[in-house]
A and B are shown apart, each in its own frame.
Chain A
Amino acid sequence: MSGTAATESDALFRYALRLGDSSLVLAQRLGEWVGHAPALEEDLGLANVALDLLGQARLLLTYAGEIEGKGRSEDDLAFLREHREYVNAILVEQPNGDFAQTIVRQVLIDAFQLELYERMQNSSDERLASIAAKSVKEIRYHLRYSGSWLVRLGDGTAESHARTQAALQRLWPYTVELFAEDDLDRLMTAQGVAPSLTDVRTAWAARVDELLSEATLQRPVDRPYGWYGKRGEHSEHLGYILAEMQHMQRTYPGARW
């Protein structure tokens, strides 16, 4: 294999991991609501979103393993990497908090994934294009679900409004990372694998602004931010998520049931 080809497949591997890790970690977070949601109906609603995300993560991690070509399966990548090797966005690892915080996190990431995957259906990489086409149908529903809750909470009682606005203030800074292009993002865009994050941001901002105004919420001010989950720099939360998620495979390597 020539040097360029090796670098190119390595870049695609890392990019597929980024997408897959964000879906996987968010799925794990949402799964924490099972048995604890405010109503049985919400319990199932959140679990459904979590399962969609897990399905997307499986496709993406399987593909990443194939690109890498070292025989690593989706399970190897999910259960046997350390937190520094995880390259998900920091936003998705933030704690569930109260229901408002979970919903705000979900709206911000759903709108991002929707704009990203809608464009990625035209990716020069056929496999990513087909994963995007499958995912986009699911994500449209995720945003419908989270968006209607955002409006209900934001435009609800004084307490629900205050809690939702507080969650927005807390989580907004993490959205900067979603659109901060680094070398890998630029390479993927140049190769036609991924859409331009500038385009995604414009569409995302319009979508989010519309929801926020319907929910009578104030959009927080953008602040500079320099901490990147997609480079393996994580908040203190990811370690705990992985400890719980990986504990079975770490304790009983290769265990099956």
Chain B
Amino acid sequence: MDDPRQWPLFEVFVRARGGLDHKHVGSLHATDARMAIEHARDLYTRRQEGVSIWIVRSSNITASDPGEAESLFEPARDKVYRHPTFYDIPDEVKTL
């Protein structure tokens, strides 16, 4: 449960440059979303790390259960054919 004496926790996502994805960079405490944006600006973009910030209340994130990791992720392990490693790449293609 949230401790009522503590400010709620927010997760911070920062986009480094236009065209890139927002990446999770950490979390912080704030009373509301506006304060969270200001704190994120001061904490996570002080060295020019970003051009855009997303804030999400940590309690709004639904995470997968680590206990279920086996059933969720193990079945993909023996399906190597899903990796695109069986194609012959023409020499002319430089950046793939």
Q: Could you tell me the distance in whole angstroms from the C-beta of A141 to the nearest C-beta in chain B?
A: 8
A interface residues with partner B (beta carbon < 8 Å): 39-41, 44-45, 48, 141, 144-145, 148, 152
**CB pairs A–B below 8 angstroms (27 shown):** A39-B7, A39-B29, A40-B29, A41-B28, A41-B29, A41-B30, A41-B39, A41-B42, A41-B43, A44-B39, A44-B42, A44-B43, A44-B46, A45-B38, A45-B39, A45-B42, A48-B42, A48-B46, A141-B41, A144-B38, A145-B38, A148-B34, A148-B35, A148-B38, A152-B31, A152-B32, A152-B35
How far does the alpha carbon of A200 sit from the alpha carbon of B40 in the complex, in Å? Answer: 32
How far does the alpha carbon of A124 sit from the alpha carbon of B21 in the complex, in Å? Answer: 44
Which partner residue on chain A sits nearest B39 by CB separation? A41
Q: Could you tell me the distance in whole angstroms from the C-beta of A41 to the nearest C-beta in chain B?
A: 4
Which residues of chain A are near B31, meaning CB under 8 Å? Answer: 152
Q: Could you tell me the distance in whole angstroms from the C-beta of B2 to the nearest C-beta in chain A?
A: 15
Which residues of chain A are near B7, meaning CB under 8 Å? Answer: 39
A sample of 17 more A-B contacts (CB under 8 A), given A41-B43, A48-B46, A144-B38, is: A39-B7, A39-B29, A40-B29, A41-B29, A41-B30, A41-B42, A44-B39, A44-B42, A44-B46, A45-B38, A45-B39, A45-B42, A148-B34, A148-B35, A148-B38, A152-B31, A152-B32
Which partner residue on chain B sits nearest A39 by CB separation? B29
Which residues of chain B are near A44, meaning CB under 8 Å? Answer: 39, 42-43, 46
Which residues of chain A are near B39, meaning CB under 8 Å? Answer: 41, 44-45
How far does the alpha carbon of A48 sit from the alpha carbon of B43 in the complex, in Å? Answer: 9
Residues of B within 8 A of A (CB-CB), count: 14
How far does the alpha carbon of A41 sit from the alpha carbon of B46 in the complex, in Å? Answer: 13
Which partner residue on chain A sits nearest B35 by CB separation? A148
Which residues of chain B are near A141, meaning CB under 8 Å? Answer: 41
Which partner residue on chain A sits nearest B7 by CB separation? A39
Which partner residue on chain A sits nearest B40 by CB separation? A41
Which residues of chain B are near A152, meaning CB under 8 Å? Answer: 31-32, 35
Q: List residues of B (1-50) whose CB comes within 8 Å of A's CBs.
A: 7, 28-32, 34-35, 38-39, 41-43, 46
Q: Could you tell me the distance in whole angstroms from the C-beta of B46 to the nearest C-beta in chain A?
A: 7
Which residues of chain B are near A144, meaning CB under 8 Å? Answer: 38
Which partner residue on chain B sits nearest A45 by CB separation? B42
Q: Could you tell me the distance in whole angstroms from the C-beta of A172 to the nearest C-beta in chain B?
A: 26
How far does the alpha carbon of A152 sit from the alpha carbon of B32 in the complex, in Å? Answer: 10
How far does the alpha carbon of A39 sit from the alpha carbon of B35 in the complex, in Å? Answer: 12
Which partner residue on chain B sits nearest A48 by CB separation? B42
Which residues of chain A are near B42, meaning CB under 8 Å? Answer: 41, 44-45, 48
Q: Could you tell me the distance in whole angstroms from the C-beta of B53 to the nearest C-beta in chain A?
A: 13
How far does the alpha carbon of A48 sit from the alpha carbon of B35 in the complex, in Å? Answer: 15
How far does the alpha carbon of A45 sit from the alpha carbon of B38 in the complex, in Å? Answer: 8
Q: Could you tell me the distance in whole angstroms from the C-beta of B37 to the nearest C-beta in chain A?
A: 10
How far does the alpha carbon of A41 sit from the alpha carbon of B42 in the complex, in Å? Answer: 8
Which residues of chain A are near B28, meaning CB under 8 Å? Answer: 41
Which partner residue on chain B sits nearest A151 by CB separation? B34
Q: List residues of B (39-83) whose CB comes within 8 Å of A's CBs.
A: 39, 41-43, 46
